Amino acid sequence: MAIPDYQTIMLPLLKLTADQKEHQFHDLVETLADEFKLSKEERKVLLPSGTAFLFDNRVGWARLYLVRAGLLEKKRKGFVKITQRGSQVLMQKPEKIDREFLEQYPEFVEFVRPPKRSRTSSPITKDEEVGEKTPEEAFENSYEQIRHELAQQLLTQLLNASPRFFERLVIDLLVKMGYGGSIKDAGKVVGTSGDEGIDGVIKQDQLGLDNIYVQAKKWQGAVGRPELMKFVGALKGQKANKGVFITTSKFSNDAIDYISKIDSKVILIDGEKLSELMIDNHIGVSSVAKYEIQRVDSDYFIDG
């Protein structure tokens, strides 16, 4: 079964509290996971940011909305209890509870109303709803889309760059990631092949305790097994067992399969991965805006 959206979770969550007892949030999550027959793999699915489990996050948002609508209450950290209003809702035996259902409660409308909306404005319209995604998911998905588009723009720039610029880019990236010691040290050993790529041995760390053989080439088609076999041969010629092959294109399935079966440790970085590493290490990009998602620190409000 697919992971349910947070609105689908609302009614089952409220029903679990129908006994009017306090329930620990963690226990509710586990019970709901069983009710929805989620597999172990589905329970391990994370948000795009990797900061929380997707299902747990959706249950958390369902709980928040029910609390804001006055159907649940939180009297202590990590626990919820049904309210009189929540019990009355269950007595009505609704087929579902979603954002539209909760808009009958003024405090909920006030909670989800955008900050600049006038108090005399009408409730939220369907077009304004987040839909199946929680606000946090919508935010993260938008971020991932922006990041993907940025990566594609970087890749276009890489394909149009000169071999000399591409050489400098790889040096900048490797040093920023902690390899090669310094730009000066890395520049001495990288870019010695004279072709449209760069080849050389670079320090694994600033102390030079080990070396890594690097080959980076601008490439049009997929890099195949023959090219990687040459690279592995070059590794053996350098008496090295660690290598990084960087390309602006992709690697064929045959090439990836070959690398997975050899003794040498070879990391393959295609154009998509290269652009992602550039973003992560702030190479060729600049910050336009920063947003920070915060949560209430419940411990701060404990008196005594």
Q: How far apart are CA 174 and CA 280, in angstroms?
A: 12
Is residue 139 a contact partner of residue 293, using CB atoms and an 8 Å limit?
A: yes
Please determine, for residue 179, whether its predicted confidence score (pLDDT) is greater than 90.
Answer: no
Please determine, for residue 206, whether its predicted confidence score (pLDDT) is greater than 90.
Answer: no
What is the edge-to-edge ordering of all strands in the sheet holding 197-203? 197-203, 211-217, 242-247, 265-269
What is the edge-to-edge ordering of all strands in the sheet holding 23-24? 23-24, 79-82, 72-73
Superfamily of domain 152-280: RNA polymerase, Rpb5, N-terminal domain (3.40.1340.10)
80 vs 294 pLDDT, higher one: 80
Question: What number of other Cβ atoms are within 10 A of residue 11's Cβ?
Answer: 19
Q: How far apart are CA 192 and CA 272, in angstroms?
A: 25
Is residue 3 a contact partner of residue 45, using CB atoms and an 8 Å limit?
A: yes
**pTM score of the predicted model:** 0.60
Please determine, looking at this structure, whether the domain spanning 6-123 carries the CATH number 1.10.10.10: yes
| DSSP line for 223-253 | B-HHHHHHHHHHHHHTT--EEEEEESS-B-H
pLDDT reported for residue 127: 38
77 vs 304 pLDDT, higher one: 77
100 vs 293 pLDDT, higher one: 100
Q: Which amino acid is at 297?
A: D
pLDDT reported for residue 121: 43
* Predicted confidence (pLDDT) per residue in 211-256, tens digit: 788 888 888 789 999 999 988 888 887 777 888 899 989 999 999 9
111 vs 14 pLDDT, higher one: 14
Average pLDDT over the chain, rounded to whole? Answer: 82
- Name the residue ranges covered by the structural domains of the chain: 6-123, 152-280
Please determine, for residue 102, whether its predicted confidence score (pLDDT) is greater than 80.
Answer: yes
pLDDT reported for residue 118: 41
The three-class DSSP label of residue 57 is helix
* Predicted confidence (pLDDT) per residue in 19-77, tens digit: 999 999 999 999 999 999 999 999 999 887 777 899 999 999 999 999 999 999 988 88
Please determine, for residue 287, whether its predicted confidence score (pLDDT) is greater than 60.
Answer: yes
Please determine, for residue 132, whether its predicted confidence score (pLDDT) is greater than 50.
Answer: yes
Q: Work out the average pLDDT over 294-303.
A: 66
- What confidence category does residue 131 fall into, taking pLDDT thresholds of 50, 70 and 90? low
| DSSP line for 215-227 | EEE--SS-B-HHH
pLDDT reported for residue 298: 64
Q: Of 60-64, 86-90, 142-146, which has the strongest mean pLDDT?
A: 86-90
Q: Work out the average pLDDT over 159-165.
A: 82
Q: Work out the average pLDDT over 255-282.
A: 92
- What confidence category does residue 184 fall into, taking pLDDT thresholds of 50, 70 and 90? low
* Predicted confidence (pLDDT) per residue in 104-130, tens digit: 999 999 888 755 534 444 444 443 344
H helix intervals, the chain: 6-16, 25-35, 40-43, 54-68, 84-91, 99-102, 106-112, 135-160, 163-176, 183-189, 225-237, 253-260, 271-280
The strand pairing partners of 211, in sequence order, are 203
95 vs 304 pLDDT, higher one: 95
pLDDT reported for residue 205: 66
pLDDT reported for residue 182: 63
Burial of 192 (0-12, 13-18, 19+ CB in 10 A): exposed
Q: How far apart are CA 166 and CA 197, in angstroms?
A: 8
Q: Please provide residue 265's backbone torsions phi and psi, each rounded to the nearest 5 degrees.
A: -90, 105
